[in-house]
Structure 1
Amino acid sequence: MKIKQYRKYVASMLALVMLVGLFPSLNKAQAEDILNVNADGAILIEAETGRVLYAKNPDQVLGIASMTKMMTEYLLLEAIAEERVKWDQEYAVSEYVYKVSQDYPYLSNVPLRRDGKYNIRELYQAMTIYSANGATIAIAETIAGSEANFVKMMNEKAEELGLNDYKFVNSSGLNNSDLKGYHHTGNLEEENVMSARATAILASRLISDFPEVLDTASTPKMKFREGTDDMIQMDNWNWMLPSLVYGYEGVDGLKTGTTEFAGLCFTGTAIRNGTRYITVLMNAKDENGNNTDKKIRFDETRKMFDYAFSNFNKEELIPENYQVKGKKTLPVVKGKEGKVKIQTKEPISLVVKNGEKENYQPKLVLDKKKLNDKGELTAPIKAGEKIGTLTIEPVDGQALNFLTEDGQSKILVDVVAADDVEKANWFVLMMRGVGSFFGNVWGSISSTVKGWF
């Protein structure tokens, strides 16, 4: 290689190194996209703790289409639990619901009669299994009197659940232009939007607060109004349910969504051996950037489920009654005993990557209010009394990534006293005081004598 060419080569390499240094966040994002999920936004979490195992643009606000119905499901199941609505309660079809429900060649719907009456349970089944839009609006009107009022409830509930990056303009997830001129919130072309993170929080809370939703969401097929002239076959749009065309072991929910604005969306959940994962996929595409084949969203979701179930396992990292090395006991003053054992009240479990169980360490935090200036507890102490807390953290010091800010609390347990320590009586305390006094005097004399020599 000639000298001039060599210098150009070296200069080019140095420039490349400088560019890499200038864009560390880009490097990090590329390194983290280990699954190469083809979507505008995606997230994979373990449901119990909310630990995030994979994320792609998790905070970008995007269209959610019929994944909206998870919020409508939440508000309905809450109303049922609070007995504000009953399953056998009848709904008389409004003109608005009638017109939307008749648009079933283009929109997902069960056609409802204008003079018909339907109970809430069958409307809920139509919404949850078949994503029926007219039935969804009917539920909104039942709960709030009007869809406009219901949309206010949706946004208020989103704030209450701690969601960020969201906006609801209708109960169904349709574009407002599809609502037959009855839209009351937002402009004519608006749709509901959320981030993948916010969608995952909603799904997590829905499953946690109302697990019965999965009984319906996992139903692969059902006949609406079976045995009548209005009967219609409802096939679940979640084709990853085990008995359907793209079946995946353990999948039992949760909600698909498709509009031109939002693209192909899917919030999935699957459980195996007691561990549940939740995935969110927004505007899924194939490798060429196309989003016309509904199979794409299930292919991309499969990537995340395969990654979770193949590479992670739930491990007990801290057993119950665990004692931290070097801190198995604490000194006690004014007690019959001079020290007390401390231990965790409960175990700590977490999904960790296979072979990485040893990469986590305990972190003990003692309650300073319980200790004197010398780090001692003061008797009396009751067995089970909280002395502090213990959590786990990676050995390399990196923070664990959770869905919400309070996720760390899911791996935080109390550290308690293992035994009672009674307060010593006045005579014992007095004699200790006398002994301590003469011990100090003797120590002073000894030091002085040593100083002479």
Structure 2
Amino acid sequence: MYPSKTRFSMRVTGLVLLLALLLSSVAVAAPEPQRPSITAASAIVMDYDTGEVLYEKDADTMRVPASMTKVMTAYIIFEELEAGRLTLDTTVPISAANAQKSRDGRNYPASVPLTAGSKVSVDTLLKLILIPSASASCIVMAEYISGSESAFVQRMNETAKRLGMTAAYENSHGAHVHYLTARSQAILVRAFIDRFPRILNYTSLTGVTFNGKWYPNTNKLLPGLDYAYEGADGFKTGTISAAGYCLSATAVKNGRRIISVVMKSSNDRTRHTDSTALLDYGFAMLEYQSPYDDVAYHWCREDVADLKELGVELHAEGDSFRPDEAVTRAEFTAMLYTALEQSGTLPPEPALPEEPAEEDETAVPEPVQPLFYDTNGHWAQDYIEKATRLDLITDTDGYFYPNRLITRQEMMVILDRCLDLPDENGLGFADDGDIALWALEAAARTSAAGLFQGGSGNALRPLSTSTRAEAAAVLNRVTAML
């Protein structure tokens, strides 16, 4: 007897649903993001944390930056603030010549009128430079800092060279023609945020009031403006006829920052839509290139990716690396052993004892005992025992404590045993006194080699347990020096 049509349809539907459920459980690799179609003549997008260039288009051609020049002017002002030669409350006198330039919109565009004989604070001048892009305010600060704009421009070019930029500045404001590359502008923005993160307090402002007039920010990617981009908090536009429309921008998503630059766009709309496309692509590439789902926007992404590509045992759980979990002794040992193994730098195995001339064929072989009482059947047993036989770690009381969390000073001692480090002293941290005597020499050598660095308040934190992310960063530094 054949099933009815209704029952047959129900069975087919059930099979289809079952197949769909099975297929949905299969992990499918995400496709590589499609490269953006950028209309600007030059463009670049950079990962702030690593400096990795995620996309570029003619990024090394010298082009006119227009008012993006003001980023370098502001950078030098911040250097003066850092050195204590200026404060934000320092008042700067406005000369008659600069007051006239501030009203000369033809030769010094983006004019914000200043009053001759008045004094304006550095804080206010920074806002005028970075938000409505006031050109004369740049000259005011240049002359105050260096005595003349030409001397200030010389410092701009010296600073650019020090930062690794390709630039030829000829003025402090960009209202007149000079040249740099899109890559150089991205390098400058990255260096600025890294050294002086307080700059974002200025570049994120949507406008400023001066002498009773409201001046909007020309970067319209900021919240509430025409081309608002989620997470955008700066940076700087530039527009003159020789430059077209330029924009350097930055945004943060899930704790990761991207920097973009476009130069010589055809209009204000396209410089913003190009920048949006670049930022979207940059964040998409972070996710696509991520070795694990939970490090796509984590600071350890590149370290973990490098170790995974090398073939290091990272003890991941599927698509999860768990970067902020504390690392165990077993995990660190497995990571270290395989990092040395894949780098071809494992020490030679000790020579085996000579076999007796004659063997008693009737003797019953003794069972092989694990090196440690508490590692038998552990996922890392093989790595732990191999590392012990190579004297990378020591056998003390017959217990390894594989699931115990490892401290930074324990990691220092283990690495000092593995590596032939120069006998140098890299200490000088605020908490050097916390280092145990048995770890002191190892801490001195490993910190001198740059394997361990101080954190907040220049603290080494030798007694603190390390996260899996920190362990990955340390071991990636190890593989880089092998």
Q: TM-score, normalised by structure 1?
A: 0.62
Q: How does 1:11-26 map to 2 (within 5 A)?
A: none
State yes or no: 1:323 paired with 2:344: no
* Matched-pair contact (CA < 8 Å) for 2:339–2:475: no
State yes or no: 1:413 paired with 2:477: yes
Q: How does 1:51-66 map to 2 (within 5 A)?
A: 51-66=52-67
Backbone CA RMSD of aligned residues: 3.5
Tell me which protein shows more strand as a share of its residues: 1
User: Match for residue 437 of structure 1?
Assistant: none
Q: What whole-Å deviation, never above 9, does each CA across 1:386-425 have from its counterpart, x for those lacking one?
A: 49999xxxxxxxxxxxxxxxxxx99942369xxxxxxxxx
* Matched-pair contact (CA < 8 Å) for 2:43–2:56: yes
Separation (CA, whole Å) in 1 of partners of 2:96 and 2:245? 30
> SS at 1:277's partner residue?
strand
Q: 1:96 to 1:33 in 2, by over 3 A?
A: farther
Separation (CA, whole Å) in 2 of partners of 1:144 and 1:85? 12
Q: 1:280 to 1:338 in 2, by over 3 A?
A: closer
Q: 1:51 to 1:117 in 2, by over 3 A?
A: same
Separation (CA, whole Å) in 1 of partners of 2:133 and 2:474? 33
Q: Any unmatched runs of 5+ in structure 2?
A: 1-32, 287-295, 308-313, 315-326, 351-387, 395-405, 410-417, 423-438, 452-472
| Amino acid in structure 1 at the alignment position of 2:338 | K
User: Match for residue 280 of structure 1?
Assistant: 261
User: Match for residue 230 of structure 2?
Assistant: 249
User: Match for residue 135 of structure 2?
Assistant: 133
Separation (CA, whole Å) in 2 of partners of 1:122 and 1:78? 17
Q: 1:238 to 1:149 in 2, by over 3 A?
A: same
User: Match for residue 210 of structure 2?
Assistant: 224
1:311, distance to aligned residue in structure 2 (A): 3.8
| Amino acid in structure 1 at the alignment position of 2:64 | G
Separation (CA, whole Å) in 1 of partners of 2:230 and 2:37? 22
* Matched-pair contact (CA < 8 Å) for 1:331–1:340: no
> SS at 1:73's partner residue?
helix
Q: How does 1:141-156 map to 2 (within 5 A)?
A: 141-156=143-158
Q: 1:103 to 1:192 in 2, by over 3 A?
A: same
State yes or no: 1:107 paired with 2:120: no
Q: 1:146 to 1:415 in 2, by over 3 A?
A: same
User: Match for residue 308 of structure 1?
Assistant: 282
Q: How does 1:34-433 map to 2 (within 5 A)?
A: 34-104=35-105, 107-163=109-165, 165-175=166-176, 191-225=177-211, 231-284=212-265, 291=266, 293-312=267-286, 313-314=296-297, 315=301, 316-317=304-305, 318=307, 321=332, 322-325=335-338, 327=340, 330=347, 339-341=391-393, 386=446, 412-414=476-478
* Matched-pair contact (CA < 8 Å) for 2:262–2:271: yes
Q: 1:239 to 1:339 in 2, by over 3 A?
A: same
Q: 1:151 to 1:412 in 2, by over 3 A?
A: farther
| Amino acid in structure 1 at the alignment position of 2:113 | P
Tell me which protein shows more helix as a share of its residues: 2
> SS at 2:41's partner residue?
strand
Separation (CA, whole Å) in 2 of partners of 1:51 and 1:411? 20
* Matched-pair contact (CA < 8 Å) for 2:55–2:282: no
Q: 1:246 to 1:382 in 2, by over 3 A?
A: same
Q: 1:326 to 1:149 in 2, by over 3 A?
A: closer
Q: 1:415 to 1:149 in 2, by over 3 A?
A: same
* Matched-pair contact (CA < 8 Å) for 1:125–1:216: yes
Separation (CA, whole Å) in 1 of partners of 2:64 and 2:147? 26
How many pairs are equivalent? 310
Separation (CA, whole Å) in 2 of partners of 1:280 and 1:212? 20
User: Match for residue 10 of structure 2?
Assistant: none
> SS at 2:110's partner residue?
coil
User: Match for residue 354 of structure 1?
Assistant: none
Q: 1:331 to 1:294 in 2, by over 3 A?
A: same
Q: 1:194 to 1:324 in 2, by over 3 A?
A: farther
Q: 1:309 to 1:99 in 2, by over 3 A?
A: same
1:162, distance to aligned residue in structure 2 (A): 1.7
Separation (CA, whole Å) in 2 of partners of 1:412 and 1:109? 50
> SS at 1:268's partner residue?
strand
Q: TM-score, normalised by structure 2?
A: 0.58
Identical aligned residues as a percent: 31
Q: What whole-Å deviation, never above 9, does each CA across 1:306-339 have from its counterpart, x for those lacking one?
A: 1122342334445663224284664599xx9861
Q: Any unmatched runs of 5+ in structure 1?
A: 1-31, 176-190, 226-230, 285-290, 347-365, 371-379, 391-408, 417-453
Separation (CA, whole Å) in 1 of partners of 2:215 and 2:202? 12
* Matched-pair contact (CA < 8 Å) for 1:254–1:268: yes
Separation (CA, whole Å) in 1 of partners of 2:192 and 2:349? 47
1:367, distance to aligned residue in structure 2 (A): 5.9
Separation (CA, whole Å) in 1 of partners of 2:475 and 2:249? 24
* Matched-pair contact (CA < 8 Å) for 2:203–2:234: yes
Q: 1:327 to 1:217 in 2, by over 3 A?
A: closer
